Amino acid sequence: MATVTPPSAQDSQRRPEVEPAVARLTVGLGGPTGKFARLSSSWWTPLRIALAVCCITFALGVLQKAPCMEDGWNRQSWRPFQALCYSDIGYLYQERGFAEGNRPFLDTGNYPVLEYPVLTGGFMEVAAKITWVFTGDPKKDVTEAQKRDTAGVFFVVNVAMLFLCALILVGLTVATARGVAKRQGGARGQPMIALYVAAAPVLAFTSTINWDLFAVVLTAGAMYAWSRGKPIWFGILLGLGTAAKFYPFLLLGPLLIVCLRGRKLWQWFLALVATGFSWGLVNAPIYLLAKNEWLSFWVFNDERESDYGSIWYVLKLAKHEVADVNQLNIVIFAGLCLSIAILGLMAPRPPRFAQLAFLVVAAFLLVNKVYSPQYVLWLLPLVALARPKLRDWLIWQACESFYWMMVWLHLAQYLAPGDPNQPDKIYWLSVVLRMAGTLWLMLVVARDILLPENDPVRQGDLVNDPGDGVIPDAPPRQLDPVHA
């Protein structure tokens, strides 16, 4: 039997405790870890545990999409909504020029211009080129049935690419969370944080609805770079994430508050410049060669009316439509951002970057004029790093899962009352519950900022931010003699 040296009393105080409920649920995955265990002796490292769970979760999600794959991505069919398996991937292949062998933005035809940012269009083009290797030259005349068959291959290729993104996302979450273990005297809490991503039902339900997971993994890479003290790499990855989806750009605001509190504005400036450089480098060629097509994403989002999942859409259904949603959104979101900034600047201890990042992105989704089901992926790694607490995570996941189910049933008209004059109030309820779940997390994270001793990551307020490699820790508070 190997000799194990017991830790000191102070190390025991600093060692992060695994939440009892999570520990019991993960016995079969190598947990709970013993107090004096040497984790390196087990083949089931935190990364391998999280990746194994992610494989199972993602596989269940792909199986859940089987009815749509069997249906052949036929836009005239109601089955995608009835079976809750809808995905944009197979349809947009047929409807945005890929089925004819065209390139996004640069080639045009008798179809709408691709309404996605440049890097997401590039992701789709790579998947299309891989698809054509298996299906042959798409320039040849093909029937609509053959196009649907090719769309099925395109969907499978995208599933494989998004699965790789999911694995990288989990790995980055483990790596970012590793700072908790290194700074607090052990690694017992590390695998549990990653499981909040790997085991999330919404990861199964929504990963293959659209391409948002690509932007999410780039954003997670940026946060990992920041945790390793690399602001330039943070900016490069954040710029790439913004070139795939707009929301990563929002993280520069929370980072400014963190750097103001840590008196590290130069690092924030480096991150800002790197973000602008990488975003511009990706977008410039398309802007110069096809300006109108490049603008399609921005025009589409500016002109888009209130849509599924938002409170504004519910108000429209209830005959109380808001006249100018765009301006009201900007005003409300600006007010929420100002409140979050004041919270971050006035908090008794410097807030963690993940906490402020979650609050800003959640605020954006709370008031946005559309909430597609896959948008929940934006919050998934942020919640894991900001509030890794099983009770709160389950509340949030339940609300999001209920909304995910109801939006498809709403589109399938299964929830429509018998009387056509009566509104679909069950769907309204799902939207309100979805917002309530997000608001609940925002409130508990704000409370953690105001009362850092309750933060499950700080573990008794002993460290500033274990996920921040740029801002140095403040000296730890003196332990209460009663607990020392």
Degrees (nearest 5) of the Cα angle 414, 78, 306? 70
pLDDT digits (tens, 9 = 90+) for 315-351: 999 989 888 899 999 999 999 999 999 999 999 999 9
Compute the distance between CA of residue 122 and CA of residue 145 in angstroms, rounded to an integer: 26
Cα 126 to chain centroid, rounded: 22
Residue 166 has pLDDT above 80, yes or no: yes
Please check whether residue 325 is in contact with residue 306, taking contact to mean a CB–CB distance below 8 angstroms: yes
Give the Cα-Cα-Cα angle 381, 430, 358 (nearest 5 degrees).
25
28 membership: H or E segment, kind and range: none
Residue-wise pLDDT for 346-389, tens only, equals: 999 999 999 999 999 999 999 999 999 999 999 999 999 999 99
Give mean pLDDT, residues 32-42: 53
- Please check whether residue 85 is in contact with residue 206, taking contact to mean a CB–CB distance below 8 angstroms: no
For the chain, give every domain's residue range: 43-72+80-454
321: left (phi over 0), alpha (psi -120 to 50) or beta: beta
Residue written as tokens 């993280």? 251
Percent of the chain with pLDDT over 90: 65
What pLDDT sits at residue 212? 97
pTM for this model (two decimals):
0.88
Tens digits of per-residue pLDDT, 429-483? 999 999 999 999 999 999 999 998 888 887 655 556 666 666 655 444 443 333 3
Q: What is the mean pLDDT of the segment spanning 26-42?
A: 53
pLDDT at 23 over 90: no
Report d(CA 131, CA 124) in Å as an integer: 10
Burial of 170 (0-12, 13-18, 19+ CB in 10 A): buried
